[in-house]
Amino acid sequence: MSLNSVRIESEVQRIILLNCLKSENYVSLASLAEEVSKVVRYRASAALSQNAALLERRGILEKRVEGRRVYVKIRPNYVQVVRATLNFKSPYCLISGYTWNPMEPEKLEPLKNYVDAVKKLEDEGIKVDYIVCFTTPEAQNKRKELGVTPEPNEEIVFPFKVYQSDYDRLKREIKSVVDRLIYKYEPILDITPLTKLYSDILAEISENYGLKRIYHFGPLTWLKK
């Protein structure tokens, strides 16, 4: 499934989705009643309930009920396409990686993969506010030893064999990172480092979530923008 936009069928739906983006989390439908009362001629609570139910049936919203209060938020795989539809801007995060082969210790460029990505994005006017790197224990230790900067905000460390063959574990972890960060940031996925399996999983998530995807071995190439 490749997502590019969502159909917003009413002003009430636009209000619900926009406030979900602003909150970066769940929103109480009751808290939107005053805003919705300005655009409907019937009870705002009924309009909110009906439109939220329509969005939930389409898979765009998920719902949580606490007593008499109903809370909704956008499902992770729809956040970016809703942003694009509403022209809502969020800061960028880069999901990248780096590696280092102890058998070829003199080859240090792979340690700086994410640094290269940040620089090339900045050259195109894109400021990255948060960096997540997938890496290996050996590469992490070498990066710290050499003092490669900027420091990633997060590092997810697996043995190299996971990046070679453990599709389920790797996809689960990458998806978990995306699902957690997507409410605050617009992720850019960097398929340059590590292995083909890692790149393939990022490409799959990029298509399913409507996320930007880059390759930068040489000039920066936007594979999905």
Percentage above 70 pLDDT, the chain: 98
For the residues 14-20, what does the mean pLDDT come to?
97
124/206 Cα distance (integer angstroms):
20
Q: Work out the mean pLDDT of the chain and round it to a whole number.
A: 95
For the residues 27-34, what does the mean pLDDT come to?
95
3-state secondary structure of 6: coil
Question: Does the pLDDT of residue 194 top 50, yes or no?
Answer: yes
Categorize the per-residue pLDDT at 6 as very low, low, confident or very high, splitting at 50, 70 and 90. Answer: confident
- Residue 158's nearest CA partner among 145, 144, 171 is 171
Over the stretch 73-108, which tens digit does the pLDDT of each residue have? 999 999 999 999 999 999 999 999 999 999 999 999
Question: Does the pLDDT of residue 157 top 60, yes or no?
Answer: yes
Query: Where do the DSSP E strands lie in the chain?
Result: 27-28, 61-66, 69-74, 92-97, 128-135, 154-157, 186-190, 212-215, 221-224
Question: Does the pLDDT of residue 1 top 50, yes or no?
Answer: no
